[in-house]
């Protein structure tokens, strides 16, 4: 599993862009629009998890986190 600190600035920006779109980009018959009141569901959480997995941020096994 990678940490966020191991990713490039470009990859971090791409992750934030994807998450922002998942959370607030909506669509209707007129097209896409930013919706600050978009309702979230468990599918959104799954898609955010998939995004983090694509960038290697998902742990492959249970890993105890070190206290900082």
Tens digits of residue pLDDT in 3-55: 999 999 999 999 999 999 999 999 999 999 999 999 999 999 999 999 999 99
- Tell me whether residue 61 is in a domain: no
What's the pLDDT score for residue 32?
A: 97
- Residues forming beta bridges with residue 27, ordered by sequence position: 32
- Tell me whether residue 60 is in a domain: no
First to last CA, the chain: 18
68, pLDDT greater than 80: no
Domain that holds residue 34: 4-54
- Tell me whether residue 32 is in a domain: yes
pTM given for the model: 0.82
- Tell me whether residue 59 is in a domain: no
CA 11 vs CA 15, 33, 34: distances in Å: 6, 24, 22
- Tell me whether residue 39 is in a domain: yes
């Amino acid at each position: 599993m990678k940490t966020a600190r191991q990713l490039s600035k470009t990859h971090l920006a791409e992750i934030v862009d994807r998450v922002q779109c998942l959370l607030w980009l909506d669509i209707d018959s007129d097209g896409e629009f930013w919706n600050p009141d978009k309702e979230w569901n468990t599918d959104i959480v799954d898609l955010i998890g998939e995004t983090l997995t694509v960038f290697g941020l998902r742990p492959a096994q249970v890993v105890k986190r070190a206290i900082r």
